[in-house]
Amino acid sequence: MAEKKEPRKVTTHTLQEMKQAGEKIAMLTAYDYSMALAIDAAGIDVILVGDSASNVMAGHETTLPITLEHMIYHAQSVIRAVKRALVVVDLPFGTYQGNSKEALNSSIRIMKESGAHAVKLEGGKEVEDSVKRILSAGIPVMGHLGLTPQSIYKFGTYTVRAKEEAEANKLLEDANILQEAGCFGLVLEKIPATLAGEVTKRLSIPTIGIGAGNLVDGQVLVLHDMLGLTTEFHPRFLRRYANLYTDITGAVTNYISDVKSKDFPNEKEQY
């Protein structure tokens, strides 16, 4: 009998090869087993266990409250489902900033306790030492520049970043610092498309955009947003591929009605 072939796993090297070949990288968030199973089976390249779990799973207004323990729990659930995708886990707020030793310890906990493949952190020059220290333990690191939601109280709003020359130049410098420090990839969030294109041209590592136009090496969206499970978030960059909120409320309304009318369960649905 012919052996069932396991899909070829995506690694950080695969992403590098994809950039070189001009093949776009598709990345989505996931925080639980069932969703991760479905998007991995669909062929997604990278799954981000994002700290956006704080918003979409726990209902917080920002990403700040989520803890390392929560992130590890979500990552463990995702890892159990994944056969092919590269799984990257966000280092949550307060577990890496300003202390490279803590950054390393947090990353080791994520890798050891969840079996994830890489970590992601926000910021440029400020996190350079942390990136180097995490990498010294052999843990791949992804950077994140532009709109960095963990700094929302510094920015004050979720509007487009780096429209002014000074901030755009700082972003270009930070991107270079992260690449030199050894990051394998870089998320660019909500910045002008031309700037994202410029970063992508200057860097040899892949860039993944969210609200950063199409001159980048790949795209990422929050799964719950693109599936239409969240309904109150309408940024220009968000394309909705389904309307699950409507589908779910419709299905549940039908279920309630069937239970109340004694239509469910019927003869065939009982023992």
Kindly list the catalytic residues.
189
Rounded CA separation 233/72 (Å) = 26
Task: Report 80-99 residues binding ligand KIV (CB under 6 A).
Answer: 90
Q: Which is nearer to ligand KIV, 179 or 219 (CB)?
A: 219
Contact between 220 and ligand KIV (CB under 6 A)? yes
Contact between 128 and ligand KIV (CB under 6 A)? no
Q: How far is the CB of 64 from ligand KIV (least distance, A)?
A: 12
Q: How far is the CB of 252 from ligand KIV (least distance, A)?
A: 27
Contact between 187 and ligand KIV (CB under 6 A)? yes
Contact between 223 and ligand KIV (CB under 6 A)? no
- Residue whose pair of structure tokens reads 């532009």 in the numeric block: 146
Q: How far is the CB of 90 from ligand KIV (least distance, A)?
A: 5
Rounded CA separation 188/201 (Å) = 13
Contact between 222 and ligand KIV (CB under 6 A)? yes
User: Could you give the count of Cα atoms lying within 13 Å of 269 in the half-sphere of its Cβ?
Assistant: 7
Task: Name the pairing type of β-strands 185-189 and 141-146.
Answer: parallel
User: Could you give the count of Cα atoms lying within 13 Å of 193 in the half-sphere of its Cβ?
Assistant: 7
With CB under 6 A as the rule, give the number of residues binding ligand KIV: 11
Q: Which is nearer to ligand KIV, 223 or 266 (CB)?
A: 223
Q: Which is nearer to ligand KIV, 5 or 239 (CB)?
A: 239
Task: Report 51-80 residues binding ligand KIV (CB under 6 A).
Answer: 51-52
Binding track over 143-182 against ligand KIV, x by CB under 6 A: ----------------------------------------
Q: Among 33-41, 44-52, 81-89, 107-115, which window interacts with ligand KIV (CB under 6 A)?
A: 44-52
Contact between 29 and ligand KIV (CB under 6 A)? yes
Rounded CA separation 176/251 (Å) = 49
* Cβ pair 182, 135 in contact under 8 A: yes
Q: Among 49-57, 95-103, 176-184, 199-207, which window interacts with ligand KIV (CB under 6 A)?
A: 49-57
Q: Which residues bind ligand KIV (CB under 6 A)?
A: 29, 48, 50-52, 90, 187, 189, 210, 220, 222
